[in-house]
Each structure stands twice: as structure tokens, then as C-alpha cells.
Amino acid sequence: MKQFQYTITDPVGIHARPAGLLAKAAKALDSTVTITKADGSKSAAATKLMALMGMGIKTGETVTVTVEGGNEEANCAAVEQFFKENL
């Protein structure tokens, strides 16, 4: 299991467009990707668009991203790069 924390910088937070892109990217990986709010109140599989949007993650909030199974090292790096470019 690999994890990293990321603070959302997108002015609108995780909304429809980036959530859709994230779900699509996560589905292409052979690992399970889970997003958890820093306070631990909510978490969702990155492949579930509506669940991601339902978390209500806003600008400045920190999330923990967990990557399990498959090629964790490469997939974690890919997801982290996605967050830096899109969120």
C-alpha cells in the first residue's frame, strides 16, 4: 500500500470535470485508488464519479490518496502527477 497527501489547489475543489478525469484515469490502473478527506469523515473509490463529487472537497482541503495492489509504485506516481496537473 502506498499513500500520499495532497492539498487541493483547484479554485472550485473536486468538481465534475476533474472528478470525471480522475475516475477515468483510476479505471485505467491495475490498482485500487481511494481518496479520504484529511479529517477521515469521508472516503471514496477514485473510480466512482458521484462518490468523489459527493465528498464535497473544497480548495485548501487536504486529502489522503491510497493506492493498493498492482504496480503500486508506478500507479501511485501516476496518480500523484494527475493531482498536481489537474487538482
* Active-site residue, from 2, 15, 42, 48: 15
Residue 47 a catalytic site member: no
Number of H helices, E strands in the chain: 3, 4
Three-state DSSP state, 31: coil
Residue 2: other Cβ atoms inside 10 A: 16
Catalytic residues: 15
